[in-house]
A and B are shown apart, each in its own frame.
Chain A
Amino acid sequence: MNVAVAVTGNDAMAHALKQINPDVCAAYPITPQTDLMQRFSEFVSDGEIDTELILVESEHSAMSACIGAAAAGGRVATATSGPGLALMWEMLYVASGMRLPIVMPVVNRALSAPLNIHCDHSDAMGARDSGWIQLWSENAQEAYDNLIQAFRIAEHPDIRLPVMVCMDGFIISHSICRMEYIADDAVKNFVGWFKEKNALLDIENPVSYGPLILTDQYHEYKKIQSDAMERVFRVTTDVAAEFEKISGRKYDLFETYRMEDAETSLIVLNSAAGTSKDVVDEARDRGIKVGLLKPRLFRPFPHKQIGKILQHLKAVCVLDRSDSFGAYGPLFTEIAASLYNYGGKPRLLNRIYGLGGRDFLPKDALLAIEAVVAAAEGKTDLALKEYLSIRG
């Protein structure tokens, strides 16, 4: 039976991992992920699950151990944040290149310098080209639901790619909110058995993992990997449909909010979408035809579907919680790419917000709405890219 609980985002992710009971998990502490794997370790220590933990000496080794464990032939997970993800960087590419279905919660955190432990998306955005599938989550419920679905997507025979499930550090990871846990059995049945492929521990059929491949085939293997990514759209949709049956909750590649007759829209990832929806409601009350689009699947990015939805709008404001210094925010770039190839050309604005955990307040969402409305009305002196709420 599904039960309502009041828990933090980290609790929820730890609970999902407990229900899934992976064969091996690696863990290394880093704020704000720390208490996720800490909570998970309690389940292991108390014998509630039989996962083997590897308490490694760095995130680099965490991902390396996950790679070894996944190649060995079993279900594997770890979790990290900000600089931990940055330290894994080289190994992220190895995990995806070897087609290992590792699942990893990423509790989003800013990157140094200056040293900062709070939320922004610089970590996961830096890893967006690593060949990992990325699911983004607005709140603890979505993080929990995404994490359960992530195993199915990663391990699908047509996919076999690692998945990161992103959730905002502190804002969600450490805030208690109401959500529902699905019954243990239902989760267990949903994720099913891990089906081994080319297991290293199969002594009778020895395989070699990680060959040197130069100019002869590297290009082809990358195309094969790229093709697998293209199949993620379909598999994610299929898995979501099945998930709805056990949860009653509907998931798509992205969420639209009040977009039916919208003339303008905000585009925003993760927790800031929650705040923004309230402000959209208020604007709607004042007769402003604004909507909101929140991508769930950022890698692969559903350019075509999103382009179709946005093409008829007059203006779109993309909110980025990370910057690509000297260029536009990473989400902005994807939205621009979605629109250029698919029909109309709404005016586009890029607003950078909430770096290093700076609160994203209703007034910030309102600033974005005012800007996008002004853009729709033809105002010409608007900055294309701008940091929101900079202290003077």
Chain B
Amino acid sequence: MSVSLKLKDLSEKEVLLSSGHRMCAGCGAAIVVKMVLLAIDKPVVVCSPTGCLEVTTCISDYTSWKTPWIHSAFENAAATMSGVETMYRALKKKGRIDKEITFVVFAGDGGTYDIGFQSLSGAMERGHDMLYVCYDNNAYMNTGIQRSSATPFGAATTTTPAGSAIPGKMQHRKNIAMIMAAHDIPYVAQAAPSHYKDLMRKIQKAAAVKGPKFLNILSPCNRGWRSRIDDAITLSRLAVETCTWPLFEIENGETTITYKPKKKKPVEDFLKPQGRFAHFNKPENEWLLKKIQQKVDREWDNLIRAESAKGFYN
């Protein structure tokens, strides 16, 4: 039986991430982690690769984790967790442990799409029982906003500054959810904290399934996105309403779009409040907006087709 997702009921629950962590004020990732932990009712063991979450939640003598947690390096969260989960199976087989445990990885997009990609792919292929959550803030935020393969087209980062010759990042994002779905794992989903019920329901669904599960969750970062300190949830909502960040799930290869905006908003609504897209306003950069809108439209159409075809990619 899963925990009730009524906020009144959830508020009675202990959050396994404690106050006193040193994530930035207004951090989206902290909200995501909190929601994920609240949705799970079994004991959890957490692994984080090097990144914002890791360096802010466990420093010297202080940990914000009220549940077992491990960090070993940047590129290997899935491999590290593979080891933890395998030891769990080994000890359970020998009768030295009896509890049911949910194994959760919280990794940023750098540790997921880029440097941790191989170890993630390996762990998914081997079928370890783990829930891998990517808190996607669209860049290497911990090292100071460098581009990653999750950075959207056109965004200015510190390694793709919007210059006169090159106006920001010139490549589109990697479609990590589809790549994970291609591993034929039982559950893949994309979620956003503004749509918390959808997010938490997905976590509960994933946690109930044995085997590897992957969730990509948008984590607005006001420092990296050059936006207001209080707009993490607002931007998350705009990302969903513009279909920049579609909400869907892929269960055993079948796609379901879990939220369809009544009227798809123009991508501009999501980009405008963010300083990383400020250069889009220059007349010579109008093409950037067009290109990004085309990409969003194409992916949304693909998703709709995938849903009606009961598949996951078109």
Contacts and interface: CB of A to CB of B under 8 A. Distances in A.
Taking the complex as a whole, does A directly touch B, i.e. does some CB pair lie under 8 Å apart?
yes
Interface of A: 23-24, 26, 50-52, 54-58, 60-61, 64-74, 76, 90-91, 94, 98, 200-203, 206-214, 216-217
B185 to A, nearest CB: 15
B88 A72 contact: yes
Interface stretch (B68-76, B173-181, B216-224, B286-294): B68-76
B151 to A, nearest CB: 25
B87 A72 contact: yes
Given A61-B119, A206-B69, A210-B71, A68 B90 contact: no
30 contacts: A23-B94, A26-B83, A50-B93, A52-B86, A54-B83, A57-B118, A57-B119, A58-B118, A64-B79, A67-B83, A69-B87, A71-B83, A72-B83, A91-B73, A94-B72, A94-B73, A200-B68, A201-B45, A201-B91, A203-B43, A203-B45, A203-B99, A203-B101, A206-B65, A206-B67, A206-B68, A208-B63, A210-B72, A211-B63, A214-B59
B89 interface: yes
Closest 5 CB pairs of A and B: A68-B83, A57-B122, A65-B83, A210-B71, A72-B87
Contact of B66 (A202, A206, A213, A217): A206
A60 B63 contact: no
Interface in B252-304: none
Interface of B: 43, 45, 47, 54-55, 58-61, 63, 65-73, 75-76, 79-91, 93-94, 97, 99, 101, 118-119, 121-122, 125-126
B58 A211 contact: yes
A201 B101 contact: yes
Contacts of A98: 72
A202 B67 CA distance: 10
Given A72-B88, A74-B90, A201-B101, A56 B82 contact: yes
Contacts of A203: 43, 45, 67-68, 99, 101
Given A54-B126, A58-B118, A214-B59, 18 more contacts: A52-B89, A55-B126, A56-B126, A58-B119, A60-B76, A64-B82, A66-B83, A68-B72, A68-B79, A70-B87, A73-B87, A200-B45, A200-B68, A201-B87, A201-B91, A203-B43, A203-B67, A211-B71
Contacts of B97: 201
Given A24-B83, A67-B80, A56 B122 contact: yes
SS of A interface (majority): mixed
B99 to A, nearest CB: 6
B86 A65 contact: yes
Contacts of B80: 64-65, 67-68
B57 to A, nearest CB: 8
B83 A201 contact: no
Given A68-B70, A206-B69, A23 B87 contact: yes
A201 B75 CA distance: 22
A60 B67 contact: no
Given A94-B73, A217-B60, A54 B68 contact: no
A284 B59 CA distance: 61
A51 B86 CA distance: 10
A61 B55 CA distance: 22
Contacts of B75: 60
A68 B86 CA distance: 9
B94 A50 contact: yes
Contacts of B126: 54-56
Contact of A64 (B69, B83, B88): B83
B55 A209 contact: no
B59 A213 contact: yes
Given A91-B76, A206-B69, A58 B122 contact: yes
B207 to A, nearest CB: 16
A98 B73 CA distance: 12
B100 to A, nearest CB: 10
A208 B58 contact: yes
Nearest to A207: B68
B40 to A, nearest CB: 13
A25 to B, nearest CB: 9
A212 B59 contact: yes
Max chain A CB contacts within 10 Å: which of B43, B60, B79, B122? B79
Contact of A68 (B47, B59, B67, B93): B47
Contacts of B67: 203, 206
Contacts of A54: 82-83, 86, 126
A200 B89 contact: no
A216 B62 CA distance: 13
Contacts of B91: 23, 72-74, 201
B79 A60 contact: yes
A208 B69 contact: yes
A65 B79 contact: yes
Nearest to A203: B43
B87 A64 contact: no
Nearest to B22: A212
A65 B84 CA distance: 7
B88 to A, nearest CB: 6
Contacts of A217: 60-61
Contacts of B73: 64, 90-91, 94
B69 A68 contact: no
B122 A52 contact: no
Contacts of B125: 57
A210 B58 contact: yes
Contacts of A76: 83, 87
Contact of A74 (B43, B45, B71, B87): B87
Contacts of A210: 54, 58, 70-72
A59 B59 CA distance: 28
A217 B60 CA distance: 7
Contacts of A57: 118-119, 121-122, 125
B65 A212 contact: no
Contacts of A68: 47, 70, 72, 79-87
A242 to B, nearest CB: 26
